[in-house]
């Protein structure tokens, strides 16, 4: 929805089923579609925070209830940029990024759609906001059960705190009843297709250019890979060190299969813990310089395991607004309240902890170590100190730091010299380690506790012998030499410098993740398609993976790439960039 100016109800909802108007002139309107509360809109009558904040506050207290009914909840507020902060007392209690006490209003809005919609993997129109010089619109939607009948919908709104409001549209009751009766016949013909919502959603994705087309890999992962029948230079996997097809890892996996078979055939807590699992956990703890480690089936599973085990409904999670989807899902499963702080901003973390920490029994601060879309690094040392001051557990997800940062790839905790201080360090074995699996490392008290409480550990089969043995072999290689890590960084420095010399924008990355910023998703997709024709495999990333207007080609460096490979890729980027007018 584009908002070009402050508009009255009839402009955004031309024929509302009913409206309620307060004595102060504030208006709340709703529409009913197929006997379901479809939209709820608030139009405060005033033109300043002092005038519309009370109405927003009351509306915001019940916005979640409306959204549970399946309605789009929209508050349209006339405001100047410096007045945005007032929204925090109303609808924006869902969206802490809007409470911009640090003076970052413009930057917050630039990243809002990505932070609130793409970050949560929602569908277009589900969650987001738009701002113009004269208005702000905040939208929130949850897919939930229907509310039957306009009378029920209208009553629900009044029960939600609007008993004192009166109908402001003459005949609204009759109009609403007539519309619902008229729609029943239509609903009878449509409701038989129970999967219509999937078709509609796919059509919307295709129409907006957001439908994901998945290419097929037909060889082992490496610098040159067979993709859709074509041999191409591979610049988009997470195979940082070339371990995905490393001979020592393959040999270790083969030996494990000969000794242990192809699978454990049980969960870890019953009959699935093999001596291989224990060897890997002991080796990983030693490699990381921590007291203990526990392995899981994937890095995603590790986050789903550890967060709900450490915090519950009475607790608070203080989470970087751009944390990975696995962290977000782990937070949701815990049922703890999520308090977001501005991306990589220790000052904002401290502000949120200062204001909210006392509201919770336990608190945990969670951040990614390396952020996978932009390649920037969390200020871990500063965030750790703040978490300690407020008595919060401190957790970092080091998925893109393991094998990359620190001495010989020991990760972000080693990079910042925080050994023995970080409580929980989550890692994945599917990126630099090139295999499949996840790990939680840190204090032994916590890793032992997870063996009793972590649901993926207790209720899902253990990692396969081949995967575990290959991970042990990867640690062997990393402990023997830093050559692969050193080569990874040499390739990174060369490629980034040359791309910048050609005139490409590589964002704010300080890691081997190299975003080539292009702006709009259609341009990024066309750029990727033409790169593939040139013999380079580099996928486009657009909304909702990244914010609207921030589409990119994400290039991932690898130690396996030779200088000639990089030069081939650079020339392809140059040609396509010239053709498309990017450089």
Torsion of CA 286, 291, 293, 299, to 10 degrees: -90
Q: Where are the alpha helices (DSSP H) in 336-482?
A: 346-356, 380-389, 412-415, 444-453, 455-459, 465-480
Distance CA 428, CA 437 (A): 6
Catalytic position from the list 38, 288, 431, 525:
431
Residue 488: Cβ within 10 Å count = 24
Q: Is 400 a catalytic residue?
A: yes
> Which residues make Cβ contacts (< 8 Å) with residue 46, sequence separation at least 6?
52, 55
- HEC string for 306-336: HHHHHCCCCCEEEEECCCCHHHHHHHHHHCC
Distance CA 105, CA 103 (A): 6
Distance CA 463, CA 298 (A): 9
- Strand pairing partners for 258? none
Catalytic position from the list 400, 443, 496, 525:
400
Catalytic position from the list 298, 372, 460, 509:
372
- Strand pairing partners for 131? 136
> Which residues make Cβ contacts (< 8 Å) with residue 465, sequence separation at least 6?
256, 257, 259, 260, 261, 262, 263, 264, 274, 276
Token pair for residue 272?
A: 């699935």
Distance CA 3, CA 312 (A): 39
Distance CA 300, CA 320 (A): 17
Distance CA 560, CA 244 (A): 10
Selection from 345, 374, 387 nearest residue 100 by Cα: 345
Q: Is 509 a catalytic residue?
A: no
Distance CA 272, CA 306 (A): 20
- Strand pairing partners for 230? 227
Do residues 504 and 516 lie in contact, with contact meaning Cβ atoms separated by under 8 Å?
yes
Distance CA 93, CA 81 (A): 18
CA distances from residue 201 to 47, 371, 391, 555 in whole angstroms, order as listed: 37, 29, 44, 29
Side-chain-side CA neighbours of 317 within 13 Å: the count stands at: 28
Active site residues: 372, 400, 431
């Amino acid at each position: 929805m584009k908002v070009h100016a402050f508009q009255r109800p009839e402009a955004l909802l031309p024929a509302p089923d009913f409206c309620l108007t307060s004595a102060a002139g504030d208006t709340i309107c709703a529409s009913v579609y197929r006997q379901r509360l479809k939209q709820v809109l608030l139009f405060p009558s005033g033109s300043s925070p002092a005038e519309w904040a009370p109405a927003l506050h009351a509306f915001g207290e019940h916005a979640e209830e409306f959204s549970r009914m399946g309605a789009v909840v929209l508050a349209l507020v006339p405001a100047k940029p410096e007045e945005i902060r007032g929204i925090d007392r109303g609808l924006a209690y869902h969206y802490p990024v809007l409470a911009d006490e640090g003076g970052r209003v413009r930057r917050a809005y630039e990243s809002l759609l990505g932070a609130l919609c793409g970050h949560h993997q929602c569908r277009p129109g589900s969650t987001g906001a738009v701002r113009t010089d004269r208005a702000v619109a905040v939208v929130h939607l949850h897919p939930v059960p229907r509310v039957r009948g306009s009378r029920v919908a209208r009553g629900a709104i009044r029960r939600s705190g609007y008993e004192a409001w009166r109908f402001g549209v003459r005949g609204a009751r009759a109009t609403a009843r007539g519309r619902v009766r008229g729609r029943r016949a239509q609903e009878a013909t449509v409701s038989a297709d129970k999967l219509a919502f999937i078709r509609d959603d796919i059509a919307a994705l295709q129409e907006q250019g957001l439908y994901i087309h998945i290419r097929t890999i037909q060889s082992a992962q490496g610098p040159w890979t067979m993709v859709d029948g074509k041999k191409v230079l591979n610049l988009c996997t997470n195979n940082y060190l070339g371990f995905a097809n490393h001979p020592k890892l393959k040999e270790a996996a083969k030996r494990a299969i000969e000794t242990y078979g192809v699978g454990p055939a049980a969960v870890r807590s019953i009959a699935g813990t093999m001596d291989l699992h224990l060897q890997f956990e002991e080796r990983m703890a030693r490699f990381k310089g921590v007291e203990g480690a526990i392995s899981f089936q994937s890095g995603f599973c590790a986050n789903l395991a550890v967060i709900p085990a450490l915090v519950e409904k009475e607790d608070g999670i203080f989470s970087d607004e751009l944390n990975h989807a696995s962290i977000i899902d782990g937070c949701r499963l815990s049922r703890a309240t999520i308090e977001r702080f501005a991306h990589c901003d220790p000052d904002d973390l401290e502000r949120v902890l200062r204001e909210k920490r006392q509201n919770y029994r336990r608190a945990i601060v969670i951040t990614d170590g390396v952020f996978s879309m932009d390649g920037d690094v969390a200020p871990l040392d500063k965030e750790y100190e703040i978490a300690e001051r407020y008595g919060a557990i401190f957790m970092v997800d080091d998925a893109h730091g393991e094998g990359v940062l620190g001495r010989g790839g020991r990760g972000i905790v080693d990079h910042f010299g925080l050994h023995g201080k970080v409580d929980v360090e989550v890692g994945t074995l599917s990126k630099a380690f090139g295999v499949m699996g996840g790990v939680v490392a840190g204090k032994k008290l916590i890793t032992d506790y997870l063996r009793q409480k972590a649901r993926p550990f207790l209720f899902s089969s253990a990692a396969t012998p081949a995967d575990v043995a290959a991970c042990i072999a990867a640690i062997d290689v990393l402990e023997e030499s830093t050559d692969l890590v050193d080569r990874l960084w040499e390739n990174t420095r060369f490629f980034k410098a040359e791309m910048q010399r050609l005139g490409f924008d590589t964002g704010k990355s300080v890691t081997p993740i190299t975003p080539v910023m292009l702006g709009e998703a259609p341009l990024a997709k066309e750029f990727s398609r033409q790169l593939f024709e040139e013999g380079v495999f580099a996928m486009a990333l657009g909304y909702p993976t990244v914010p609207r207007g921030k589409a990119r080609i994400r290039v991932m460096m690898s130690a396996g790439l030779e200088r000639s490979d990089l030069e081939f890729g650079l020339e392809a980027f140059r040609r396509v960039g010239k053709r498309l007018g990017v450089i």
